[in-house]
């Protein structure tokens, strides 16, 4: 009786001989995928409704402000004030975008697949964070650019007027970047704590909105020092405190900044840096533990 023999079947698999991209390209691809996810690109029509509705609202507001300025010649709202006014929309945008970036991966259990590639666990978290920062900055910076183009084309001072308008725009874009960094770092940290997107979204909104009443309480206490430091109690007002310190009259009438934050402007700047740094550190620690499971 003959011994059974094995048979090797050729089913068409071929060895990959192309260029093997490394860590930098994996990081870039993950960042780009995250940015597309935020705006619903490459996803279903349902996933595009909320982000593009918010984009439409902020752009419509910017267009309206530009139209009023072109007709009256008066600056209704500065670029920095626009970022402040739209910050409540950014909160809800971040509350939806952050869970889409991280909670879905936690719930579906695909993180081991990510970390099986040449992608350190910290790179995953940083790529998602930078994608959210970029998305929030575009949400605020895009409409600011619309306002700038409208002002530049209607200025009566020629190239000098365009240059002055550009110098007004740049601080507004930097201020929008500060909003994006703080909101993204806090929002992504909260969203990374649960795989349920509804809980994550609610947690992000709660962190921003439920801390605001604390600011109101502290601001009416019978102590001027506590009143001037009250805005440190909420991530949103911390950013506003930095804006009052660095931009001054671009955000508030003359003297209002001194009345609201006094001489504590550097404290607000340090507070914003420490808040963002602490959230990033905790986010990296969170994914170090997730990857070890």
pLDDT of residue 2: 59
The predicted pLDDT at position 195 comes to 85
Specify whether the CB–CB gap between 245 and 266 falls below 8 A: yes
Q: Are 136 and 94 in contact (CB under 8 A)?
A: yes
The tens digit of pLDDT for each residue in 144-154 reads 999 998 888 87
Instruction: Kindly give, in sequence order, each residue whose CB lies less than 8 Å from that of residue 190, ignoring residues fewer than 6 positions away.
Output: 98, 200, 203, 204, 207
Contacts of 55 by beta carbon, 8 Å cutoff, 6+ apart: 39, 139, 142
Q: What is the DSSP letter of 178?
A: H
For residue 291, pLDDT over 70 is answered with: no
With a pLDDT cut of 90, the percent of the chain lying above it is 49
286 Cβ contact partners less than 8 Å away, ≥ 6 residues apart: 125, 189, 192, 193
Please name which of 100, 286, 283, 42 lies closest in space to residue 181, comparing C-alpha atoms. 283
pTM given for the model: 0.89
Q: SS3 of 76, please?
A: coil
pLDDT band at 159 (very low <50, low <70, confident <90, very high): confident
155-159, 167-171, 204-208: range with lowest mean pLDDT:
155-159
Between 165 and 160, where is the model more confident?
Answer: 165
Q: Over range 26-55, report the average pLDDT.
A: 90
More confidently predicted of 7 and 106: 106
Highest mean pLDDT among 13-17, 119-123, 132-136: 132-136
The mean pLDDT value for 91-96 works out to: 93
Could you say which DSSP state residue 103 is in?
A: I
Burial class (CB in 10 A: 0-12, 13-18, 19+), 151: buried
Distance, in Å, from the CA atom of 227 to the CA atom of 244, rounded to the nearest integer, reads 15
Q: List, for residues 45-56, the tens digit of each pLDDT value.
A: 888 999 999 999
As a dihedral over the C-alpha atoms of residue 32, residue 35, residue 41, residue 46, rounded to 10 degrees, the angle is: 150
261-281 residue pLDDT tens: 888 989 999 999 999 999 999
81 contacts 162 by C-beta, under 8 angstroms: no
For range 156-173, the mean pLDDT: 84
Which tokens hold the place of 215? 């600011």
CB burial string 27-56: b at 16+ within 10 A, e below: beebbeebbebbbbeeeeeebeeebeebbe
- pLDDT score at 52: 93
- Report the distance separating Cα 47 and Cα 30, nearest Å: 19
């Amino acid at each position: 009786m003959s011994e059974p023999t094995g048979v090797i079947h050729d089913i068409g698999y071929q060895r990959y001989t192309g260029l093997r991209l490394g860590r930098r390209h994996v990081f870039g691809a993950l960042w780009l995928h995250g940015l597309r996810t935020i705006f619903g690109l490459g996803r279903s029509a349902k996933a595009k409704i909320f982000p593009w509705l918010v984009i439409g609202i902020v752009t419509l507001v910017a267009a309206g402000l530009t139209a009023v300025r072109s007709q009256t010649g008066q600056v209704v709202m500065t670029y920095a004030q626009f970022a402040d006014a739209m910050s409540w929309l950014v909160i809800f945008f971040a509350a939806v975008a952050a869970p889409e970036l991280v909670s879905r991966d936690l719930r579906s259990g695909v993180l081991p697949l990510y970390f099986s590639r040449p992608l350190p666990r910290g790179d995953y978290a940083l790529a998602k964070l930078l994608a959210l920062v970029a998305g929030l900055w575009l949400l605020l910076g895009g409409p600011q650019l619309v306002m700038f183009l409208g002002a530049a084309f209607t200025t009566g001072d020629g190239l000098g007027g365009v240059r002055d308008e550009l110098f007004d725009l740049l601080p507004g874009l930097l201020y929008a970047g500060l909003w994006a960094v703080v909101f993204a770092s806090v929002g992504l940290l909260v969203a990374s704590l649960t795989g349920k997107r509804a809980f994550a979204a609610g947690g992000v909104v709660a962190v921003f909105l439920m801390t605001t009443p604390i600011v109101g309480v502290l601001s009416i206490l019978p102590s001027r020092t506590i009143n001037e430091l009250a805005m440190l109690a909420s991530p949103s007002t911390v950013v506003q405190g930095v804006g009052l310190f660095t931009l001054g009259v671009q955000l508030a009438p003359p003297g209002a900044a001194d009345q609201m934050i006094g001489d504590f402007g550097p404290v607000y700047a340090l507070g914003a840096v420490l808040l963002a740094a602490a959230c990033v550190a905790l986010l990296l620690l969170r994914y170090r533990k997730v990857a070890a499971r």
